[in-house]
A = this chain, B = another copy of it.
């Protein structure tokens, strides 16, 4: 009986088990069907072990070899050297084992400016009897074979008009409006030639500011005070003995205020695109300008006559910087002589390429994380831009290998851009944003730029970005180069920090309010959340305005590997940090963008604006209340969205809810665009980050409008302040509306 019962129980149990198994596996969930296979994918978050794997595979020696290859020859935009780098990028990105899903080139016909190799620009000192008393160097002195490459472009100011200028020399400090104004109080500037030093004003501005005073031509040089901590001797102090600029080194550059192709504003520069007449271009000099080395500048400045310039104008030369008579001292060998510029630059429409590559996203291919850097240099461009390109190539090698091996595919798509003709005015990236305006506006999550990856020794992280990007975490995970058990984050906080009301002591980041590199079109024209990352030097150790070989013939592999980043460990840290950012932007379930950070900066800006402007505006019956209300709306809307994100179990909700929140975050910066906010600034549309001349840490359009009104006192200018306040308040309120409940 017991046996029978036992058998009964056992068979019952067996039958029950069979039933359970049939029920569980044999019958599909007919009411709702079996869970579809994509369910796990759409809910997946970033994989930390993948990030660890990425970080461990980023290799400093690979970066070094990338740089060696990229800097073999000068590769100024549209030259044969540039084409070599195009082919190199394509080969790497199309490699079946380590390349991307796809890579191709995109071409634009862009307006560039070059010197004439057969007719080099000349700067001379000419006596009244037309004897040439001094001729400035036409090319930089050679210390390594790199400088002897025939493709090294002679120093020149791109977009300086061709022409001849002859006049008595004056010293105009940095060529700021206030510099010429002060100088003009002492000297009649008509018919003079001005020498200026780099810094303080944009390159083109030094000539544009001079022209109204009747100045005929302008020279510009780098003072050893600003770049070399005063050191000047190439016998033992400057490169090749250190990172400092040799006496004959000359900073080249684009003397162009705008960004993007100058003949096709707002239009991609294709062959048949309408081009404005060259005489309608604004923002470039109308008088000749030429850069020279401080060796020649020394010869000229120390001979200048008349009054001593103010203390703030003095540089590192062992003489007093005088204003100039105009012209030289009566005791000088140059007495009564003129300085003469013979400039033979010419403009040309040339074919420039971007190289593009993509990794397709698996779950949301229509969301783009874009990473880019320019490819063109002035000469060999080891640091600018090839340090960034070497980092990009290492990053795509590691990611590409993972993709090609089938080990990983990002949730969102990744787009890599190797931009052309940046040095002439961010042209490749700007044309790209013009051509694909709609698509990029709709779909881009963020843009990450790494141009000069490493600025120098004594290092810490430098980051400029829209506040929206949560950056701190990205940096925390990476070890600081050369510092055992210190993270990039800790090292950064040590050298550059600020106190946030919400977060305590955090790293200091800059804002992308200028057009210093290819992020400009993404931030200012498209309104895309962006970030620019580099490793930089400790400002307590040097006063150099930038790394000293910048835009000279000395920015070579030798220079980079001996003085900027021996062992390439800082490059490695940047590759790791940037890759970490990139993977998190592409793979996180909820985008790593924080709108409350934005509220903090808006409140900061508002506080400054209230302090600086409220009193005077109230006196003119212009209320700042709408702006105050808008910032308060934004703060509360941002807090609301943060709360929604914090309190939602997003991995288990409909993927459309995650997408909705991500769209709110992704499109937030777009809400700050107003194409009519800055009618006088080409392609600046972002009312929070546009460039500003007023130099106040507040809303740029408001600061500029206020400065103009205050200086002119005209009621139409006060009207413009009121108008811009309305534009700004509406944009901030509009942005706030996008963060609250969607309906």
A residues contacting B by CB (< 8 A) are 8, 11-12, 15-25, 27, 29, 32-36, 38-42, 264, 266-268, 270, 272-274, 358, 360-361, 363-366, 368, 413, 415, 434-439, 442-443, 623, 625-626, 652-656, 659-660, 663-664, 667, 670-671, 674-676, 719, 722-723, 725-727, 730, 733-735, 737-738, 742-743
Contacts and interface: CB of A to CB of B under 8 A. Distances in A.
The 4 closest A-B pairs by CB, nearest first: A19-B19, A23-B23, A438-B671, A20-B23
Contact of A439 (B413, B626, B738): B738
Given A15-B12, A726-B273, A734 B439 contact: yes
27 contacts: A12-B15, A15-B16, A16-B22, A18-B19, A23-B27, A24-B27, A36-B654, A38-B653, A41-B654, A42-B655, A264-B726, A267-B726, A273-B626, A358-B743, A363-B654, A366-B663, A366-B664, A435-B733, A438-B667, A438-B670, A439-B737, A439-B738, A442-B667, A442-B738, A654-B655, A655-B656, A656-B659
Given A12-B12, A436-B737, A442-B738, 11 more contacts: A16-B19, A19-B21, A19-B22, A20-B20, A23-B24, A23-B25, A38-B653, A272-B623, A415-B743, A438-B670, A442-B663
A102 to B, nearest CB: 9
Contacts of A24: 23-24, 27, 29
Nearest to A673: B438
B360 A743 contact: yes
A33 B674 CA distance: 47
A743 B38 contact: no
Contacts of A39: 32-33, 35-36, 39
A505 to B, nearest CB: 34
Contacts of A435: 730, 733-734
Contacts of A730: 267-268, 273, 434-435
A735 B438 contact: yes
Given A12-B11, A272-B626, A623-B272, A652 B360 contact: no
A434 B438 CA distance: 20
Contacts of A22: 16, 19-20, 23
A270 B729 CA distance: 11
A31 to B, nearest CB: 9
Contacts of A735: 438
B18 A29 contact: no
A626 B664 CA distance: 36
Contacts of A719: 274
A667 to B, nearest CB: 5
Give the copy number: 2
A656 B742 contact: no
A625 B270 CA distance: 12
Nearest to A734: B438
Nearest to A16: B19
A19 B29 contact: no
Q: Is the interface of A mostly helix, strand, loop or mixed?
A: helix
A659 B358 CA distance: 22
Nearest to A265: B676
Nearest to A437: B734
Contacts of A738: 438-439, 442
Nearest to A672: B438
Given A663-B442, A737-B439, A413 B16 contact: no
Contacts of A437: 734
A40 B32 CA distance: 7
A1 B394 CA distance: 77
B38 A654 contact: yes
A86 to B, nearest CB: 22
A232 B157 CA distance: 79
A743 B654 contact: no
A267 B630 CA distance: 14
A734 B272 contact: no
A38 B11 CA distance: 40
A435 B736 CA distance: 11
A396 B633 CA distance: 31
Contacts of A270: 626
A549 B719 CA distance: 44
Given A626-B270, A654-B655, A34 B29 contact: yes
